A = this chain, B = another copy of it.
Amino acid sequence: MRSSEFSLIERYFRDTGLNQKSTILSQGDDAAVIQVPTGYQLVTSIDTLIEGVHFPESTAAADIAHKALAVNLSDLAAMAATPAWFLLSISLPDTNEKWLEEFSQSLKSLAQQYQMELIGGDTCQGLLSVTIQVNGLVRKNQYVTRSGAQLDDLIVVSGQLGNAALGLAHLQGKTKLPETLDSECINALNRPVPRLCLADFLRKYATASIDLSDGLVGDLRHIVDRSRVGAMIYRDRLPVGEWIETNSLYDYALGGGDDYELCFTLPEKHLDQLNDWNRDNQDCFLSVIGEITESGYYLTENQKIIDLESFQGYQHFGE
């Protein structure tokens, strides 16, 4: 593919998102220049999605764009940061204008929703792969990490778990969902909602936080390890849909990836604030699924205690 064709591609990504007032120099130069406002710190992360590894080949351009940005926004959400800027590096097998139009429109739409600005990037020829690097802002030291969980903290997750993994299993023919459910689960897989609405709540009350990309058990383990504590979670408290409950498919909720819900720890004294949140935010319901203990990592299931140390985490579908 000629460089000139890539200049064409780059046109699709101009004016993506909303201009940030602290952008000093945006796309079109060797690098972008940004000004971090006084009293703020920059929160920065990078994630790559590869066709055949992170999404099936049949995935629509608009879904790929949404997911590539959403999974990065989810990292900012876990840190309680406010999104600001992003960079895009995309490799494409060819210049399919319809595909590019759909991809860039979807990217723009999500970027605008969360007031992000695309300030630079790189395009080249290769297998389909999308890398996004996001930059968010937090007031000085007001971020939340994986390492602050304390003994007796409650373990909380947002939304429902396991739907994205169910959707993937359905697409792969590993399970058969009823018609009423398949589009909902495939939507959960392709269009995760970054839980940025929780940023204020996390900053005020959470002691540790992580986003659920590889599955609850694997990801909560990072909080456990980094905070040097233990955890007990209860299967009957996991927020799951009726299908998982009826068919006892809890492995999707425990080990299924791609939920992009947040999992965080909360001192018990803030349970009132959690209940207040749930009264006002039905679309981002918070569930207490367990508590932080001194040591060990366990699941209580039908009055049995299961050691989670050897629990097999989620594997992406290409693995």
Contact = CB atoms under 8 A, between A and B. Distances in A.
Interface string A29-54: 11111111010011111111010111
Contacts of A120: 44-46
Contacts of A163: none
Interface in A37-83: 38, 41-48, 50, 52-54, 75-76, 78-79, 81
Contacts of A143: 24-25, 33
A3 interface: yes
A158 interface: no
Nearest to A312: B2
A76 B31 contact: yes
A129 B91 contact: yes
Interface residues of A, number: 71
Interface in A61-118: 75-76, 78-79, 81, 85, 87-89, 91
A50 B218 contact: no
Given A45-B120, A48-B131, A122-B46, A28 B226 contact: yes
Given A25-B143, A131-B48, A319-B2, A32 B36 contact: no
A46 B47 CA distance: 12
Interface stretch (A134-142, A228-236, A277-285): A134-142
Interface core residue of A29, A31, A42 (most chain B CB under 10 Å): A31
B25 A89 contact: no
A209 B31 CA distance: 11
A190 interface: no
A319 B92 CA distance: 13
Contact of A3 (B48, B121, B129, B313): B313
A133 interface: yes
A11 B85 CA distance: 28
